[in-house]
Structure 1
Amino acid sequence: MAVSTYVGQVVRKNSLWKAVRVSVQKMKMDKFLTMYFNKRYHYWATDPEDKCKEGDIVLIKLLDEPQSARVKHTLKEIIFPVGATIDPITGRPCRGVDFVDIEAAEKCGPAFTEAKKQQQQSS
């Protein structure tokens, strides 16, 4: 039985088709070495609401009937949006492995606070 859902990263967006290209990493078995290696596959998925951005980590699902010769999947969920990252345990914004000081960020400019508001609205 084939797998019908994949997790991948959006690498390209086509607004005309309302579709995104998702890069999915799968494990491929090398029978000679008896080891698994990463192999990348690219799938086109429909994004009818046009809510995805390049860099988002998404969950895609296989369509019952393909939309076209290339587009055979649909966007099911945005798992991790690109942009201001919020630590899931503490709820504090972070950049890499360091936490961001909110007061200092507000003094620097409104771009960070707008990204944080957008992140909270999408949750």
Structure 2
Amino acid sequence: MALQKASNTFMLLGTCVPCLKQGAAKFKVKRLELDENLLMYFPKHEFVYAHDPDSQCKTGDVVLIEQLPQKMTRLITHKVKEVIYPLGDVTDPLTGKKVASARYRDHIDAVSKVYGQRSKAFDYDKAPPRGWQEDKKDFTHVETYIKYHDSGEDDPYAV
């Protein structure tokens, strides 16, 4: 049985990747495809463009996208419905607890209290929200362009 394309699906969960289009965002959607010979599922990635006029998604965000009733353009077939997880701020959907890597933040704090808190340990409660380094170290909000040749000038936002 063939799996329908991601662009034909009503709702998708995707990760935002860098995009050069104005008013749109590009998403990488992971799908599992059945190999008929091995009878095993293997991951396959598809890319979908979604309408995002407010630029609410940034690179790395996990976003819920919804299919438009009619295509806006040949590529833009979906719209951004909601940012589920901003980059670096993942919440377990079952328990509602914050996660760091593969462990709960509460568990990491409890273990560090038992073995002794390090003075240089990262504290998630005191950390500033994402986006405070815009124009300093974070340039994901800046409009990028394709660099076709090397002119000798410094092009910081060229792709």
TM-score by length of 1: 0.70
Give how far 1:50 is off.
1.0
Cα offsets for 1:87-123 (capped at 9, x unmatched) = 565867x6534454358xx5xxxxx324499xxxxxx
Higher relative contact order (CA 8 A, sep 6+): 1
1:4 is aligned to 10
Q: Unaligned regions of 5+ residues in structure 1, if any?
A: 107-111, 118-123
TM-score by length of 2: 0.56
4+ runs deviating over 3 angstroms: 86-92, 94-100, 114-117
Name the structure where helix makes up a greater proportion of residues. 1
Q: Does 1:55 align with 2:42?
A: no
Percent identity (aligned): 26
Q: Does 1:113 align with 2:113?
A: no
1:1-80 matches, cutoff 5 A: 3-14=9-20, 16-80=21-85
Contact conserved, 1:13 with 1:53, CA < 8 A, in 2? Answer: no
Cα offsets for 1:14-67 (capped at 9, x unmatched) = 3x5211110000011111111111100000001111111000000111111111
Contact conserved, 1:29 with 1:35, CA < 8 A, in 2? Answer: yes
Q: Unaligned regions of 5+ residues in structure 2, if any?
A: 110-121, 133-159
| Coordinate RMSD, CA, aligned | 2.9
Equivalent pairs counted in the alignment come to 107
- 3-state secondary structure, aligned to 1:13: coil
Match of 1:81 among 83, 86, 105: 86
Give how far 1:3 is off.
2.8
Give how far 1:68 is off.
0.4
